[in-house]
Amino acid sequence: TQLLEQSPQFLSIQEGENLTVYCNSSSVFSSLQWYRQEPGEGPVLLVTVVTGGEVKKLKRLTFQFGDARKDSSLHITAAQPGDTGLYLCAGARGAQKLVFGQGTRLTINP
Amino acid sequence: DAGVIQSPRHEVTEMGQEVTLRCKPISGHDYLFWYRQTMMRGLELLIYFNNNVPIDDSGMPEDRFSAKMPNASFSTLKIQPSEPRDSAVYFCASSLLAGQDTQYFGPGTRLTVL
């Protein structure tokens, strides 16, 4: 059973377009993280959200944690080829281990 | 800091052979995690250590897999005997704390079992 469901699994869009990817669960998490992974490398943390309803911005990337702390979204404005990669969400319950979603593989075409 | 170091980066072996993957965590990090990543199953936690002690090995697929952390700067993941279905990318990660703390991943070991 996948505790964190990410959608879409694959997304290919043109440079300059906007996009949103989702991370959903039936479970409550104390915090949620987003990682980006490029080919041949390990995942790298982008952001951690800990409060229900929290919104964090990282340049053109906007992350939101759901009010009930069961879901999150990542919105990218004016996507660029450098945004291409695998985006992973990961949830934590207190001091326990992280649970990762399956990931969204994003391709931005020039 | 050099980050998390893994070796080898690539390993090709034949079914039935023993495989040993190595990891050096970031100095000062108390937690070390071993993950496996495949297209079908995504990123799966195999085992994690706190201060060199295994805390949760519920993700280890079966008895063919074993992991050790003899000291704070070194860990191994061993597969014996290896099978084709073990083919995957294996990542090691370390962090100061568990839970929501940032995990720093190594570059991974791509394992192919023929």
The label of the residue with tokens 């990817």 reads A21
Give the pLDDT confidence score for residue A83 in this predicted structure.
96
**What are B51's two structure tokens?**
């201060």
Nearest CB to A102 within list B42, B100, B107: B42
A93 contacts on B by Cβ (under 8 Å): 99
- How much of chain A exceeds pLDDT 90, in percent? 88
Does pLDDT of A2 surpass 70? no
Interface size between A and B, measured as CB pairs under 8 A? 59
Give the pLDDT mean for A45-71.
95
- In this prediction, residue B84 carries a pLDDT of 97
Collapsed DSSP state (helix, strand, coil) of residue B86: helix
The residue written with tokens 């995942």 in the block is A43
B-chain residues within 8 Å CB-CB of A54? none
**CA–CA min distance B81, chain A (Å):** 26
Q: A102 and chain B: CB distance < 8 Å anywhere?
A: yes
Tell me which chain B residue has its CA closest to the CA of residue A93: B99
Residue where the block lists tokens 């969204």: A104
CB contact (8 A) between residue A97 and residue B105: no
B91: nearest CB among A42, A48, A102: A42
Which pLDDT belongs to residue A3?
83
Could you tell me where the DSSP H helices lie in chain B? Answer: none
Q: How far is CA A106 from CA A39, B27, B49, B110, in A?
A: 12, 33, 32, 22
CA distance B32 to A83: 28
Determine the average pLDDT of the residues in A5-28: 96
Q: What would the 3-class secondary structure string for A4-69 be?
A: CEEECCEEEEECCCCEEEEEECCCCCCEEEEEEECCCCCCEEEEEECCCCCEEEECCEEEEECCCC
pLDDT at A53 over 90: yes
Mean pLDDT of A36-51: 95
B42 vs chain A: nearest CA distance in angstroms? Answer: 5
* Average pLDDT of every residue of chain A: 93
pLDDT < 70 positions in chain B: 1
pLDDT at B1: 63
